[in-house]
Structure 1
Amino acid sequence: QKPLPNNELSDMYISLSSLYTRLVSMAALQQTPITFQSRSPPSKEITSKFQSHKPLKTSFSGGFPSLKLPKLTVKFAGKSRSRGGTAGAKMADSPAGSYATALADVAKGNGTLETTSADVEKVGKIFSDPQVYDFFVNPTIDIEKKRKVIDEIASSSSLQPHTANFLNILIDMKRIEVIKDIVKEFEVVYNKLTDTELAIVSSVVKLESQHLAQIAKGVQRLTGAKNVRIKTVIDPSLVAGFTIRYGNAGSKLIDMSVKKQLEEIADQLDLGDIQLAV
C-alpha cells in the first residue's frame, strides 16, 4: 500500500485538528459536573439471575484554560496489518481462534455473517459479567442447568439457532471458559473476511455521530480498508481531545489528547511525570 501524499495527510490533519479544537472548546464551556455511565448490562432477564453489578459511574467537572493545539502523533508499535497470507493460520493456532474461525465459516456458508457478528457481540456483553462467566465455568453446576440458561439467553437476546448451538457445544466440550477469547478472535476473523479496519476512539466525553464519521473517513484514508468500524471508550484521564488506535492489534496510535500535550510539555521542561487529578 502506497503512503498517502503529503497534501492528503495535511488535509486529514487539519480535519482532525478542527475536530479537536471543537471538543476542547466544548469542554472549556462546561461549568457543571457531568456524570458518565457505563453501558447498560446485557439483559435484565439474564443479569437478574446472576446479580449483575451496578454500572460504573465517573464524575468529571471543571473548565480548561486556553491550550495550544497538539501535534498529530502517530505511533507504530509493529509492522502494518496484512490483509491476507498467514493471518488466518496464526489465529487458528489457538483453540479460541479455531472455534471463532469455525463459527465464521458456518455463518459465511449460510449467509448470516453480519447477523452472527451481532450475535457474538451480544454474547461478549453477556459473558463480560463476572457472575455469568463464573456460573458457566463452574464445574460443580450441572450441564443441563447451563443448557437451560443458554436457551433463556438465546430467547431473550434473539440469537440465531447456530449461535445457540455453538454455545452448547462449548459447554458439552467443557471449553466455555475460552468464550471471551473466542469473541475477540471472531472480531478479528470477521474484520479480515469483510476487509474492515477496527478503530478504537477514546475520549473524555461521548463524541457525536458526525465526529465519529469524520474520524472513520480519516482512518479509511490511512489504511485503505473497505470498511471502518468504530468502537468508543470513555477515558477521563485524557483531559480533553481524543486518541485513535487502529492497525494490527491496535499497533498504530493517533494521539490528539490534552494529556499527551501536557506530557510533551513536561518532557521539554524536564518536569518528570505530570499527575493529572481527574
Structure 2
Amino acid sequence: MVDTATFSYDSFLADISNSNGTLEATIAEVEKVDRIFSDPAVQSFFVNPTIPPEKKQEVVKEIASSSELQPHTANFLNILVDMKRIDIIKDIVKEFEVFYNRITGTEVAVVSSVMRLESQDLAQIAQSVQRLTGAKNVRIKTVIDSSLVAGFTIRYGPSGSKLIDMSVKKQLDEIAAQLDFSSIALA
C-alpha cells in the first residue's frame, strides 16, 4: 500500500518514464490524458463516489486502448483510481510537465491566435523563443482566442510571466489610449 500523505504521484510517473527511456512518449500521453480529463463528463464520472472502482478501471482500459497509452501510463491511471486520487489528475499533469521541462531543458510557449497557425509559423516562433531563453528545446501550446482580432501573443517564462504581444487588439488598445474621446459629446 502506498502512503498517499507522502507519495508524489507526478514524480512516480516521471521516475518510471525517465528510467525506462519513455519520457518523450509519456509527455505526449500525459497531454492526451489532460485533454480527456478536461471533459467535464469524464471528470465527473471518475470523481463520482457511487460508481464502483471496477467500472472506472474498465473506462481507463478503454481510454488506454483508444489513446494507445503505454502500459505504465495506463497502470498509473489505475493506481489513481484505486487510491481514490483520480481527482488530482490535472495537478499531476502540470507537475509532470514541470519535471519534464526541467529534465529536458524545455521552455513552454503558449501561442494564442485568432486562427490556427501553420506549422512553419509555429517553428519560427519556437526558434525565436529558444533564442530569447537559451532553452535546449521549446514546446509550443496553441490557444485560439478570437478577442485578439488578428495576430498572436506568446507567453513563456516562469508561469507565463513573459509576453510578446503581436495582436491587432493590442494595437487598437494603444490607439484608443492615445485618443481621448471623453470631451466629445454625442448628439
TM-score (normalizing by structure 2): 0.90
What SS is found at the alignment partner of 1:199?
A: strand
Instruction: Give the gaps of 5 or more residues in structure 1.
Output: 1-94, 273-278
Q: Identify the residue that residue 99 of structure 1 maps to in structure 2.
A: 9
Pick aligned residue for 2:34 from 99, 110, 124? 124
Question: Percent identity at matched positions?
Answer: 75
Shift of 1:268: 1.5
Write the letter of the residue equivalent to 2:62.
E
Write the letter of the residue equivalent to 1:256.
M
Q: Cα–Cα, structure 1 residues 226 and 271, in superposed 2: closer, same or farther, change >3 Å?
A: farther
CA distance in 2, matches of 1:156, 1:234: 26
Shift of 1:111: 0.7
CA distance in 2, matches of 1:141, 1:271: 59
What SS is found at the alignment partner of 2:8?
A: helix
What does 1:96-245 correspond to in 2, within 5 Å?
98-245=8-155
Q: How many residues align?
A: 177
CA distance in 2, matches of 1:217, 1:264: 28
Write the letter of the residue equivalent to 2:98.
V
Write the letter of the residue equivalent to 1:153.
I
Per-residue CA deviation, residues 146-192 of structure 1 (Å, 9 max, x unaligned), is: 11111111112111111111111111111110011111221111111
CA distance in 1, matches of 2:181, 2:67: 52
CA distance in 2, matches of 1:270, 1:160: 59
Q: Identify the residue that residue 169 of structure 2 maps to in structure 1.
A: 259
Task: Tell which deviates more after alignment, 201-210 or 190-199.
Answer: 201-210
Shift of 1:236: 1.1
Shift of 1:271: 4.7
What SS is found at the alignment partner of 1:133?
A: helix
What does 1:83-94 correspond to in 2, within 5 Å?
none
Which is bigger in relative contact order (C-alpha 8 A, separation at least 6)? 1
Q: Identify the residue that residue 11 of structure 1 maps to in structure 2.
A: none
Per-residue CA deviation, residues 83-126 of structure 1 (Å, 9 max, x unaligned), is: xxxxxxxxxxxx8x931122111100111101111111111111
Q: Identify the residue that residue 5 of structure 1 maps to in structure 2.
A: none
Q: Runs of 4+ in structure 1 displaced over 2 angstroms?
A: none
Q: Cα–Cα, structure 1 residues 186 and 138, in superposed 2: closer, same or farther, change >3 Å?
A: same
